[in-house]
A and B are shown apart, each in its own frame.
Chain A
Amino acid sequence: MKAINLEKIKNRIKTYFSNPANCMLVFFFCVFLGLSIYPITAMIKEMFVVHAGIEKTLITAKKGSFTLYHVQKLFIPSEWSVTSFYIPFKNSFLLGLFGAILAIIFGGVTAWLMTRSNLVHKKIIGTLFMFPYLMPAWTLAQFWIYLFQNSNVMSGNKGIMQSLFGICMPQWFVYGLFPCVIVNSLHFAPFAYILIGGILQNMDATLEESAQILKANRLRIVRKVTLPIVMPALLSTFLLVFSSGFASYAVPVFLGGAVRFYTLASKMKAMINAGYMGQAYIIAAVMILCGIIILMINQKYTNKRRSFTTVTGKSGQVSLVNLKKANRPISIAMIILTVCFSVVPLIVFALQTIQRVPGDYSVSNWTLDFWIGKDLDAYKMGMVGGILVGQDFLMALLRLVLLSLACSAFAGTAGLFIGYSVVRNRRTRLSKMVEAMSFFPYLIPTIAFAAIYLALASTKTFSFLYNSFALLVLVGGVKYLPFASRGCINSMLQVSSEIEEAAILMNVPWYKRIFRILVPIQKTSIFSGYLLPIVSAMREVDLFALIVANSRYMLTTMLLAFNQTGYDQYASAITLLIIVIVLVINQVSSKLTGASISQSVGSYNKQ
């Protein structure tokens, strides 16, 4: 009897693993378990031990011994906890909340105009509207300062608005919560535009037409028909943008530092600088916890929406609202607005790179030395002239491009297999777990993520990775895996299992089914899954700064070094180059394969 049972179990296991999708699922479950459990246990440990330095002095205990000091210090109400945790938490929350609301307003209105109206010049507006998302958020923050700083606030330096039009904006407009909210919302508005636009485009137009026939006015139709339909997408967008704004670091550093506006992420970095490692890790854990809660709420609502969309179906006809006389003014206003936050920042960065003395816009102060000069003062960075003639720079550029491609290959390919295995095992518990776990790296704050992997690479087993290019690829690949896996899961969901089943009947091996059937069918959306990791790696600074062997190793870490040493012209030149490279990659891939960032982002909401 026992032998029969054992045989039965053995056969079941054999049958289970004869399906490659199951093998992949188990493999990724094990990998994610390691990738999730290691950082979590490492973080939890750091939260409750005494570290060398200031903690050892304060706690008067041996390094490595257990302590609740960090938790008590950070959470028990006191002047310290208020300034170190509660106020930054409030700031992060407000930044996330208002940033998400405004992003939805900007993106949602644009999405409606682009999909549901007869607005003219849609192509140019659509292209330009994506620029702020392709640019690193901190470049927009820098641009905001260049634009609005004035002699009445903080630095007292004139910005473009004051220099050209004599306009001086008040301090709250230039520094603090307000500009952080605006910049974050501008950066994420394209995100909202794509997500909401996707729903509006697929919405059954007959619903609105029926309301129109029943003589409902336009406002009532939007309120009673359109909004309820897009509400789940709005919520989903809101939660994703809120989550990104909540964890925002670079924007508050640029726009908040002057008025002592700290967020959880900037406070965490300050804690690390001072050696308060335990409290820094607790802040990181709080951010992860908030991220998990947001993710759970998001999944709850996206699940609801899925059933809603199924009922509604897809309309073959979309009736466009006639904007009549308002069409051209709205179109011009949209073009001006999008140019202001897409093309003008590029021009401003370009101008920064040709100023001998920063801030002096006069033609007599212009020089190309920072690009092609051969005898400049950048010797401190190991360079001897303009960035285009320095070998260090070209090598750093090459390494950054290679790293971006490698991270993309890693994340994209892993994402493809995850997508395949998750979709083929849809509704199993393991599949749901792998899908949720693949999103985990997105939730870990970048600085903590880098520190944890640095520690991992210093262990005996993984020491071969230390200071290597492979470690950068691993860290980048894992960090950007959520982008790729989400995209691939969604693209695989769109392919009927019958196609593959037919191939199985023909005895086509699994790898051929994936690469000869599934990938060609969904090549555009799969390639889009590869594109987002490239773009993300191209503009990433904090993730790699700790792991690279040398700050001159990559273009982005070089940029950080230039920023820290105050070589503004070089920093602007590198920023400009990164933006241009990202835009070129996006355009080229869009032309060649039809894949673009808008598709990568859009895939988040197509479940």
Chain B
Amino acid sequence: MKRLAIVLACALTFSCLAGCGEKDTTTSAEPAAEVNETNAEPVADGNEVDDEEPTFDTEIEKTLYEASKMSDEELYEKAKGETNKTVVYSTTSLAATAVETFLAKYPDLTIEVSDIGEADMFTKLSTEVGSAADGADMALLQNAYRVNNELISEDLLYNYFPEALKGVVEEGYQDPTAILFVSKLIFINKSDASVEDLKNVWELTETKYKDKVFFKNPADEPVGMNFLIMLTSDEWNKKLSDAYKSYFGKEWDNSAEYKSCAYEFLDKFLANCNYTYTADGGICGGIAEGEPGSVGLFVFSKLRTNEVARENLQIAATGNDGKGIEGFAGFMYPTYAQVCADTDTPYTCALFINYLLSEEGGAAWNNEDNMGTYLANTSIALVPDSTGLDKEVDYWLDRCVIEDGDYLAANYAEVYEYIASRIN
């Protein structure tokens, strides 16, 4: 039974990755890694199992596979033999703190972090990995769609996930390895008591919210675009249909001009969006100081440093007498840790990823001075922030739209053009 389950899981994973919309014959590193890992499972009865040794396209893949089975001590010993400096490109600036504590724990290693903007990250990695340039060894980056479709599928990045945490971190976040999630939530300015709580996301499609929903232009912020595309998935389309019924008191009319309920929502929601602010800090400060009833969608962490925002803004997820807003309360996106295909320090990279997934390494984000960032290793309890506003990751995962790399891969192009025509 166990063997059958393993074989089925293997087949399912492979077919899932193979069906990501790629019609060419480029071989992805991912399926190979899955097959190898599965083959390596200890099985009681070896007769029906493929006894072949795992095969790898490159030495780095093999090393990472072996590294995934090692303890931290073993990895440290191996990493000591890597004489070159490990360079980590990161879109999250707190990686510098993690590197600092990592080096305190493993003083014999050399590792440094470079802050790189999200858009530049893809240009840099796709240019330098595999070229003669001496660039990154690993990257902490976001945007599931581009990570999967531009870097992983092109064998520019390899996944590494420690065997020891396979039962701990949710399977969906093991490949590619997610280390943390960031939340962007819906807020409403309630500085005037007469402003009602948000009860349903369909309210945001009403004409009274015209130009009052502040959101970073998704054309400039890919994770925002991914969130909008995810709304068209079956899961979120269903939630939007339910919210529609609850708000309008009738079923969504599928004979209408829209392909689905989510498409109608996107059309009307985007018509009300206001892209005045180009940064989340601006949206937070702007709506906190602005007109009562203004709505914003921005990173939760901005509330921590803005006292006026904490006073004037209500988190839509916790309003409405604790029932929250129906539909969705915001969105979340993972930050992935990936190893560059041409790294010469794979063991250090593996050890650093292990560290980021540990309580000690995660403390760079999971501390009382931070909020709105959650570790992918959910076995580590959330450290309450000083404002007391934050909640455990599961609370937000239930209410927020989260990126799904497979869905994005299959549907990105079509929905992107639909959205792009409405934000221009």
Contact = CB atoms under 8 A, between A and B. Distances in A.
A284 B65 CA distance: 43
Contacts of B219: 270, 273-274
A563 B409 contact: no
A274 B146 CA distance: 9
B96 A382 contact: yes
B115 A551 contact: yes
Which 3 A/B pairs are nearest by Cβ-Cβ distance?
A: A566-B281, A463-B132, A83-B424
Contact of A566 (B153, B217, B222, B282): B282
A380 interface: yes
A567 interface: yes
Q: How large is the interface on B (under 10, 10 to 19, 20 to 34, 35 or more residues)?
A: 35 or more
Q: Which of B21, B131, B133, B275 has the most C-beta atoms of chain A within 10 angstroms of its own C-beta?
A: B133
Interface stretch (A96-104, A420-428, A452-460, A575-583): A452-460
Contacts, number: 186
A381 B115 CA distance: 9
A560 B96 CA distance: 18
Interface in A454-474: 454-455, 457-460, 463, 466-467
Contact of B302 (A57, A564, A566): A566
Q: Which of B146, B219, B291, B409 has the most C-beta atoms of chain A within 10 angstroms of its own C-beta?
A: B219
Q: Which of B23, B119, B291, B306 has the most C-beta atoms of chain A within 10 angstroms of its own C-beta?
A: B119
16 contacts: A52-B126, A54-B413, A62-B26, A80-B420, A84-B424, A155-B277, A155-B286, A155-B290, A257-B217, A269-B119, A273-B219, A274-B416, A382-B115, A460-B132, A466-B128, A561-B115
Contacts of A457: 133
A451 B123 contact: yes
Contacts of B26: 62-63
A458 B119 contact: no
Q: Which of A53, A60, A382, A552 has the most C-beta atoms of chain B within 10 angstroms of its own C-beta?
A: A53
Contacts of B369: 379
Interface in B183-225: 211-212, 214, 217, 219-222, 225
B199 to A, nearest CB: 22
A386 to B, nearest CB: 15
B103 interface: no
Interface string A45-72: 0000001111011101111000000000
Nearest to A553: B114
Nearest to B148: A53
B146 A275 contact: yes
B358 to A, nearest CB: 21
A259 B283 CA distance: 16
A262 B285 contact: no
B413 A58 contact: yes
A466 B24 contact: no
A63 B134 contact: no
Given A54-B416, A80-B420, A546-B124, A156 B290 contact: yes
A34 interface: no
A275 B219 CA distance: 11
Interface in B99-146: 114-117, 119-120, 122-124, 126-128, 131-135, 145-146
A540 interface: no
B302 A54 contact: no
A151 interface: yes
B424 A60 contact: no
A455 B135 CA distance: 12
B14 interface: no
B246 interface: no
Contacts of A565: 93, 279-281
Interface in A119-167: 151, 154-157
Given A54-B416, A273-B220, A463-B132, A156 B279 contact: no
A57 B214 CA distance: 31
Interface string A442-454: 0000000001001
B80 to A, nearest CB: 25
Q: Which of A57, A175, A382, A549 has the most C-beta atoms of chain B within 10 angstroms of its own C-beta?
A: A57
Q: Which of A155, A551, A563 has the most C-beta atoms of chain B within 10 angstroms of its own C-beta?
A: A155
A459 B306 CA distance: 46
Interface in A329-363: 357-360
Nearest to B221: A273
A61 B221 CA distance: 27
A155 B215 CA distance: 11
Contacts of B134: 463, 466-467
Contacts of A84: 420, 424
B276 A258 contact: yes
B47 interface: no
Contact of B22 (A56, A358, A561): A56
B287 to A, nearest CB: 8
B316 interface: no
Interface residues of A, number: 67
A269 B123 CA distance: 12
A357 B311 CA distance: 13
B253 interface: no
A273 B124 CA distance: 13
Given A156-B294, A466-B134, A546 B150 contact: no
Interface in A226-267: 253-254, 257-258, 260, 262
B275 A257 contact: yes
Given A52-B126, A272-B123, A455-B127, A563 B133 contact: no
A54 B412 CA distance: 7
A175 B276 contact: yes
Q: Which of B97, B119, B276 has the most C-beta atoms of chain A within 10 angstroms of its own C-beta?
A: B276
A458 B277 contact: no
A388 B284 CA distance: 26
A542 B127 CA distance: 18
B76 to A, nearest CB: 26
Interface in B366-424: 369, 409, 412-413, 416-417, 420-421, 423-424
Given A357-B308, A563-B278, 15 more contacts: A52-B149, A53-B146, A54-B145, A61-B24, A63-B26, A257-B275, A273-B221, A357-B285, A381-B93, A382-B93, A451-B123, A454-B123, A467-B135, A546-B124, A566-B302
Contacts of B124: 454, 546
Contact of A83 (B150, B154, B284, B420): B420
A551 B423 CA distance: 29
A80 B145 CA distance: 21
A352 B205 CA distance: 35
Given A54-B416, A258-B275, A62 B24 contact: yes
A563 B117 CA distance: 12
A155 B214 contact: yes
Given A52-B153, A63-B24, A270 B123 contact: no
Contact of A57 (B94, B122, B149, B286): B149
A260 B150 contact: no
Contacts of A257: 217, 220, 275-276, 278
Contacts of A209: none
B91 to A, nearest CB: 10
A87 interface: yes
Nearest to B154: A52
A565 B216 CA distance: 12
Contact of A549 (B97, B114, B278, B294): B114
B307 interface: yes
A564 B307 contact: no
A61 B94 CA distance: 39
Contacts of B225: 274
B289 interface: yes
B405 to A, nearest CB: 12
Contact of A157 (B150, B281, B289): B289
A154 B273 CA distance: 10
Nearest to B151: A52
B24 A56 contact: yes
Contact of A254 (B131, B278, B424): B278
A113 interface: no
A568 interface: yes
Q: Which of B93, B116, B421 has the most C-beta atoms of chain A within 10 angstroms of its own C-beta?
A: B93
